[in-house]
Every structure is written in structure tokens, then in C-alpha cells.
Chain A
């Protein structure tokens, strides 16, 4: 068997799976009702009941937070298999004023390149980036999305020979769903580590051949996936100027 056979085998194995007009109408109805009315009745499993209870608690906490009652800013949970981070924008970060920064430093521009910094600048968005990264890495891909309501995601992928680094920067929006963010990083069974540098907590997991780091700063969520070792990444993180 060859890889070309995979699609054919799956299609053959599930040849009876098809979409009728009735299926299309049912989904349209489900979406319409969820948008404009109550959800259509479906089987309510124990899982859904538990999830519903959790959601209600989270919603109440969110409402309380909106009225100035500080419930949480960030929830971090990890196991040997995964790292989960749930955070809400509060606009009142411990680590600085979001409006403080209005331009990148020369060192940041040199480290990440003009094209990446210009993308951030076009959004009037100036996150605190490391002022150093390993030399020779070349920018291979750059993707950015403006979701509206102030929510912006930027992905930059750098590589050189066998080394690579992918930086993702997510700016939380100002209201509703856009003001929160969930991050789920898969691990490979190694313990999640937390490093505190200049008052910012950096969470580290390993996954097969790469290191993953995640952190939050000024309502911005950063993740970094790289082939470089932990010491090299820590040197990068130490080069971030928080003020």
C-alpha cells in the first residue's frame, strides 16, 4: 500500500456517508435556532450537563468580573500530556500599561525583521518581543488576521537549515468572545515547567522534537514553537524589555 491509497481507502470504507437535502436543512435549522431562538432538542448526555454547569459558572464569573469583581485573569492547568491556558482580557495587567509602547526598539526590528514589525505597526500593535533571536533564521511565512473588536493574530515562521522557530502573537479583543482566549498545547509526557523572568511567567512543554513556550503579557498571548533548546529560548525571553 502507498500513501496515494489513503484517501481512496477512507472514501471506500465510508462510501455510504453522504449528505442529503434533509441533512443540509437540519444543520441550517440548528444554526438558525441557535442564533435566533432556542437550540433544537438534542440528546443531553452527562457530558453536556457537566459542561453546561461549568459554562454557567464561568459565565457568572465573567459577568462578575465585568462588574469589577476580580474573579480571574488567567487559568493555567497542566498535566503530563497537555498545557491548558484560559485567559480573559482585563486591561489592567500586572506587568505594564498596554498603551505605554508605541514603537518597536531598533533591537526588536533587527531581531524579527522589518516586514514582521511593519505588520504589527499597521495594526498599531506593539507587543514586547525578544530583542534577540538566534542568528541566520530567515522569515519563511508570515500570516496575520484581524478578527475585529481589537482581536489580532500574527504568525511568523523562521527557519535555517534544520532549525526553526514559529512565533504566534494573539492580542485579545475588547469585548465578548474576543476578550478571551484558550490555548491548548499538547505535550509528550514531560513535566510542564514554569520560568519567571522579570515578573512574567513562561510555561514550557516539550513535544517530540520541539520546545513550546507560552506566556501572557499586557493582554497579549504569545506562543513559541522551536527546535532550539530551552537555554537558547530562555536567553531570548530574557532579552524582552518589559518597560
Chain B
């Protein structure tokens, strides 16, 4: 009976994670992979990995659920991108198929959206994790397996590429 209750608790917890985090994770994966079908697969894979290692999550010091799930998702995406089938994706064509309301947003914002989608993967990953998911540089460093200095460097370079300036009171 105890095992059954524990199992139900775990399933309930997973369900609440999916309800809360599927949408932002899916957006990150879509931006990273520029492919809705693959992004949905990646998110599904993310939750499967989370389910399998849910017990281990408890041992992670000071790491939020959102940060942990995002780290898994970005690494699933990176894993997908490493296969050569993804290296020839026509990003522009892929973006046209996105379920977006791009036509209804101002041209300047649409350009920024497209520019982020088309950035090199290394830059795109840090932009998405830092500015979209709100992870710290140290969390990004651990998630991507790169140094914190490299994270800061990539953020700076990415902002240069996007030709946008820092928000008020912001320091990289």
C-alpha cells in the first residue's frame, strides 16, 4: 500500500511538472531546434528522463525544478542537434511552419525573434537559458558543461550579434 501511495505521489508530481513547465520548455526547444515535431519529442524525452531520475533530483543542492528540467531539455536538444540529420535544417523554412503569431507582432520584434532562432547553437543556448528561462550563469555553466566565464563571453557575443543592448541595471 505504501509503495502504491508513493507511486501515485510520484505520478502526481510528474503531472504537475508537465502542466506547469511543458509550455516554456516547448518554446525553448522550438527556438533551439526550429522544428516543432522534434521539439515536442524533445520535451517528451525530457519528462521521461525527469521521471526516471526524479529521486535523484532531491539530492541536488539549491536547484529549482524549473532549472533542473531546463538543463535536461537543453541537453536533449543538443543531443538531437549532434546527429547530422539536423545539420541541414533550413531554419528559415522551418520557422515559417512554427505555430506563431508572427504576422501580428511588430516587424522589429519579428526580426529579433527570427535572429534568435537563427543564431549559432552555442550562443542561442545561453540566450535562451539566461534571458528566457532566467537561469544564473553558474547554473548554465553546470548545465552546458562549460565555464562560467565562457557563459558570460557567449552572452556578450550573442548580444553583439543580435545588436541589442543590456536592460537597465543589468550586468553580465
| Residues from chain A with Cβ under 8 Å of B15 in the complex | 24, 28
Choose one: A7, A18, A30, A186; the contact of B44 (CB below 8 Å).
Answer: A30
B160–chain A nearest beta-carbon distance, Å: 12
Interface size of B by Cβ–Cβ distance < 8 Å? 65
Grouping DSSP codes into helix (H, G, I), strand (E, B) and loop, the B interface class, with mixed when no group exceeds half, is helix
Number of interface residues of A (CB under 8 A): 57
B154 interfacial contact with A, CB 8 Å: yes
Binding-face segment, A86-94, A99-107, A205-213:
A205-213
Q: Is the pair A207, B150 in contact by a Cβ cutoff of 8 Å?
A: yes
Contact with A along B93-121 (1 / 0, CB 8 A): 00000111110010011101100100000
- A82 to B53 CA separation, bound complex (whole angstroms): 27
Q: Which residues of A contact B168 (CB under 8 A)?
A: 2, 4
Q: Chain A 116-156, CB within 8 Å of chain B: the 1/0 string?
A: 00000000000000000000000001011111100000010
Residue from B23, B26, B122, B162 within 8 A of A186 (CB atoms): B122
Alpha-carbon separation in the docked complex, A237 to B102 (Å): 53
**B residues near A184, Cβ cutoff 8 Å:** 78, 82, 145
With a CB–CB cut-off of 8 A, which chain A residues contact B26? 17, 19
Interface residues of A in 1-51 (CB under 8 A from B): 1-19, 23-24, 27-28, 30-31, 34-35, 42-43, 45-47, 51
Which single member of B82, B105, B153, B167 contacts A3 (CB below 8 Å)?
B167
Which residues of A come within 8 Å of B, CB atoms? 1-19, 23-24, 27-28, 30-31, 34-35, 42-43, 45-47, 51, 82, 141, 143-148, 155, 157, 164, 166, 183-186, 207-210, 223, 225-227
- Residues of B with Cβ closer than 8 Å to A? 11, 14-15, 18-19, 22-23, 26-27, 30-31, 37, 41, 43-44, 47-48, 51, 53, 55-56, 59-61, 78, 82-83, 85, 98-102, 105, 108-110, 112-113, 116, 122, 127-128, 131-132, 138, 141-142, 145-150, 153-154, 159, 162-168, 170
